[in-house]
A and B are shown apart, each in its own frame.
Chain A
Amino acid sequence: QKEVEQDPGPLSVPEGAIVSLNCTYSNSAFQYFMWYRQYSRKGPELLMYTYSSGNKEDGRFTAQVDKSSKYISLFIRDSQPSDSATYLCAPRGNTDKLIFGTGTRLQVFP
């Protein structure tokens, strides 16, 4: 079993839709939960992170962590074509090591 599982997609939605991106993980030691966005042929950029369980909102983006079920979510409201990218979840424990999911490819069409 992989430490982090993520549906690779692609997920195709119309502009303005609410997008839900999800990951599951198996390591209960994970405490920090990052979401990265990666455009084609580029390095990942950090979107947001949460610590432990709970929600965090930043503009159109909301990150949610449920440690009891080991489930991580990223919601994008009012999705835009510019949001089209691959979204990677990457939890970690108290070390530097990030464990990346395979990424979900999102396509937002006008």
Chain B
Amino acid sequence: GAVVSQHPSWVICKSGTSVKIECRSLDFQATTMFWYRQFPKQSLMLMATSNEGSKATYEQGVEKDKFLINHASLTLSTLTVTSAHPEDSSFYICSARDRLGGGQTYEQYFGPGTRLTVT
């Protein structure tokens, strides 16, 4: 099956620093990738939709200058949390839509997530 990886799986950083999280589709090409954030005991909240070669589309309330998304190739999207603060501590999960999915029936394949702790 389709596999999505994320790196790192967990990261601790100091307040004010920037952190980059990578999301890779390992065995398929993904024209569209999604970034979610999940706080403890809460649902996944979509942060942004990333299309290869174009600017990401951010959900309302998500600061695009703080959460920089780059989808430079069909297999890699990165999320950079700039000037991180303790309130940014969360579980960040990416997903990728299979390029061959087509039509209305498709699957988003999720990565294992990255746990970010900002001290």
Contact = CB atoms under 8 A, between A and B. Distances in A.
A85 to B, nearest CB: 13
A45 B113 CA distance: 12
Nearest to B45: A100
Interface residues of B, number: 24
The secondary structure that dominates the B interface is strand
A102 B113 contact: no
Contacts of A41: 91, 113, 115
B46 A44 contact: no
A103 B44 CA distance: 9
Given A43-B4, A43-B93, A43-B113, A100 B43 contact: yes
Interface of A: 4, 6, 8, 32, 36, 41-46, 49, 51, 88, 94, 96-98, 100-103
Interface of B: 4, 6, 32, 34, 41-46, 49, 91, 93, 95, 97, 104-105, 107-108, 110-113, 115
